[in-house]
Chains A and B, each alone.
Chain A
Amino acid sequence: MSLYPSLARPRTLADAAALLASLSSGGVVIAGGQELMPSINAGVLAPEVYVDIGGLAELRGIAETPEGLLAIGALTVHRELQTHPLVTAKLPLLGHAATRAGGGRQVHNRGTIGGNLVAQHPLYDLAPSLLALEAEVEWVKGSETVRQPLAAMLADSRHGLGSEAILARVLVVPMAEGLGFAYEKLKASGGAYGSANAAALVKLTNGRVAAVRLVVGAVAERLLDASAAAAALLVGRPFDAAAGAALAHAVSALVTAPLSDAQGPGPWRQAMAGVVARRAVAAAVQRAGRA
Chain B
Amino acid sequence: MADRDPALAEAPAPGGYVGRAVRTLEGRAPIVGAARYSNDFRFPGQLHAAIVRSPHARARILKVDLSGARKVAGVVLAMDGREVATHLGPIPHYIDPATFGGKSAEVRTMAVDHVWCHGQPVAVVVAEDRRTARWAAAKVQVAYEVEPAVLSVEDAIAPDAPRVVPGWDDNVIMAVPFRNGDPDAAFARADHVVATTVRIHRFSTQPIETRCYNAVWEEETESLTLYGTAQNPHPLRHVLSKVLGMPEGRIRVHAPAIGGAFGMKMHGHPEESLVCLLAKLLRRPVKWVETREECLLIGAREQVHHLELAFSRQGDLLALRDRFFANTGAPSACPGWGMAFLTGLTMPGPYRVRDIDVTMTALVTNKPSWNAARGYGKEATALALELALDEAARQLGFDPAELRLRNFIPADAFPYASPTGLQYDSGDYAGAVRKAMEAIGWDGWRARQAEGPKDGRYLGLGIAYELTPEGGALPGTMVAGYDSSTVRVAPDGSVRVLTGVTTPGTGNPTGIAQIVADELGCPIEWISVVQGDTTTCPYGFGNYSGRSTIVGGGSAALAARAVREQMLKVAAAMLGVGVQALRLSNGVFDSGDGRTLSFAEVAYAAYTRAYDVASCITPPLEAQATFRPPSIRHSPDADGRINPYPSYSNAAYAAVVEVDSETGQVKLLGLAAAHDCGRVINPLLVEGQACGAIAFGVGGALMEEIRFDDAGHQLTRSFMDYVMPRAEDMPGVTMVHHDSPNPDTYMGLKGAGEAGVGGSAAAVVNAVNDALKPFGVAIHDLPLTPARVWAAIHGSGAAGGAA
Residues of A at the B interface (CB closer than 8 Å) are 3, 38, 42-43, 186, 188-193, 195, 262, 264-265, 267-268, 271-272, 275
Determine if B703 and A268 form an interchain contact, defined as CB atoms under 8 angstroms apart. no
Q: Which of B294-302, B381-389, B559-567, B657-665 contacts A (4 or more CB under 8 A)?
A: B657-665
Contact B134 A192, beta carbon cutoff 8 Å: no
Task: Report whether B726 and A189 are in contact in the complex, using a CB–CB cutoff of 8 Å.
Answer: yes
A278-B721 Cα distance, complex, nearest whole Å: 28
Contact call A262/B715, Cβ cutoff below 8 A = yes
State in angstroms the CA–CA spacing of A188 and B667 once bound together. 10
Chain A residues with Cβ below 8 Å from B790 are: 268, 271
Cα-based distance from A267 to B786 in the complex (angstroms): 12
Nearest residue, chain A, Cβ from B720: A193
Q: How far is the CB of B40 from chain A (nearest CB, A)?
A: 20
Q: Which single member of A186, A262, A267 contacts B663 (CB below 8 Å)?
A: A186
Please measure, in the bound complex, the distance between the C-alpha atom of A267 and the C-alpha atom of B707, giving whole angstroms. 19
CB atoms of A190 and B664 under 8 A apart? no
A191: chain B residues at CB < 8 Å are 719, 723-726, 729
Q: Which of A188, A265, A271, A272 contacts B723 (CB 8 A)?
A: A188
Contact of B703 with A262 in the complex, beta carbons under 8 Å: no
Sample of 13 more A-B contacts, CB < 8 Å, known A262-B707, A262-B715: A3-B135, A42-B717, A43-B134, A43-B138, A186-B663, A186-B665, A188-B665, A189-B726, A191-B725, A195-B787, A264-B787, A267-B791, A275-B663
**Closest residue on chain B to residue A195 by CB atoms:** B786
Q: What residues of chain A lie closer than 8 Å to B728, measured between beta carbons?
A: 190
CA distance A44 to B725 in the complex (A): 27
Residue of chain B at shortest CB distance from A279: B662
Please report the C-alpha to C-alpha distance between residue A190 and residue B665 in the assembled complex, in whole angstroms: 11
A-B pairs with lowest CB-CB distance, top 3 = A190-B726, A268-B787, A190-B728
Q: List 21 A-B contacts (CB under 8 A).
A: A42-B293, A42-B717, A43-B138, A186-B665, A186-B786, A188-B703, A188-B785, A189-B725, A189-B726, A190-B728, A190-B729, A191-B719, A191-B723, A192-B723, A195-B787, A262-B707, A262-B716, A264-B786, A267-B791, A268-B787, A275-B662
Interface residues of B (CB under 8 A from A): 72, 131-132, 134-135, 138, 293, 662-665, 702-703, 707, 715-721, 723-729, 785-787, 790-791, 794
CA distance A14 to B131 in the complex (A): 33
- Would you give the shortest CB distance from A258 to chain B, in whole angstroms? 11
Residues of B within 8 A of A195 (CB): 786-787
Query: Are A190 and B727 neighbours in the complex by a CB distance under 8 Å?
Result: yes
How long is the Cα–Cα vector from A190 to B703 in the complex, in angstroms? 10
A189 and B702 contacting across the interface, CB-CB below 8 Å: yes
List B contacts of A264 (CB < 8 A): 785-787
Closest Cβ neighbor of B790 among chain A residues: A268
Q: Are B707 and A188 in touch, CB under 8 angstroms? A: no
Q: Does B703 contact A192, Cβ atoms closer than 8 Å? A: yes
Which A residues are CB-close (under 8 A) to B785? 188, 264
Chain A residues within an 8 Å CB radius of B718: 38, 42
Q: In angstroms, how far is the closest chain B Cβ from the Cβ of A277?
A: 12
Check if A268 sits within 8 Å of B791, measured CB to CB: yes
CB-CB < 8 A to A193: which residues of B? 720
Q: Which A residues touch B707, using CB under 8 A?
A: 262
Question: In the complex, which of the residues A190, A193, A265 has the most CB atoms of chain B within 10 Å of its own CB atom?
Answer: A190
Q: How far is the CA of A190 from the CA of B715 in the complex (A)?
A: 20
Which chain B residue shows the least CB distance to A268? Answer: B787
Q: Identify the closest chain A residue to B702 (Cβ).
A: A189
Q: Which residues of B contact A262 (CB under 8 A)?
A: 707, 715-716, 720-721
State the CA gap A191–B729 with chains docked (Å): 9
Q: Which residue of A lies closest to B730 (CB)?
A: A190
In the complex, what distance in Å separates the CA atom of A160 from the CA atom of B762?
A: 44
- Give the distance in Å from the alpha carbon of A38 to the alpha carbon of B720 in the complex: 11
Determine the residue in chain A with the shortest Cβ distance to B791: A268
Q: Which residues of B contact A3 (CB under 8 A)?
A: 72, 131-132, 135
Q: Within the assembled complex, what's the spacing in Å between the Cα atoms of A188 and B715?
A: 18
Whose C-beta in chain A lies nearest to the C-beta of B129?
A: A3
A244 to B135 Cα, complex, angstroms:
54
Complex Cα spacing A262 to B714, Å: 12
Residue of A nearest to B717 (CB): A42
Residue of B nearest to A262 (CB): B721
Of all chain B residues, the one with the shortest Cβ separation from A278 is: B662
Task: Provide the bound-state CA to CA distance between A198 and B613, in Å.
Answer: 84
With A262-B716, A275-B662 in contact, is A188–B134 under 8 Å at CB? Answer: no
Q: How far is the CB of B455 from chain A (nearest CB, A)?
A: 11
Chain A residue at smallest Cβ distance from B718: A42
Interface centre among B72, B138, B790, B794 (most CB of A within 10 A): B790
Q: Find the B residue at minimum CB distance from A266.
A: B787
Q: Which residue on chain B has the smallest CB distance to residue A2?
A: B135
A188 to B728, CA, bound (A): 12
Task: Give the CA-CA distance A242 to B520 in the complex, in Å.
Answer: 76
Residues of chain B within 8 A of A38, CB atoms compared: 718
Contacts of A271 in B (CB 8 A): 790, 794
Residues of the B chain whose Cβ atoms lie less than 8 Å from the Cβ of A189: 702-703, 723, 725-726, 729
A136 CB to closest chain B CB, in angstroms?
Answer: 31
Given contacts A3-B72, A189-B729, contact A272 B703 (CB under 8 A): no
Whether B786 and A188, one on each chain, are in contact in the complex, defined by CB atoms closer than 8 angstroms, is yes
- Given the complex, which residues of A lie within 8 Å of B725, measured CB to CB? 189-191
User: When chains A and B are docked, how far (Å) is the Cα of A71 from the Cα of B719?
Assistant: 35
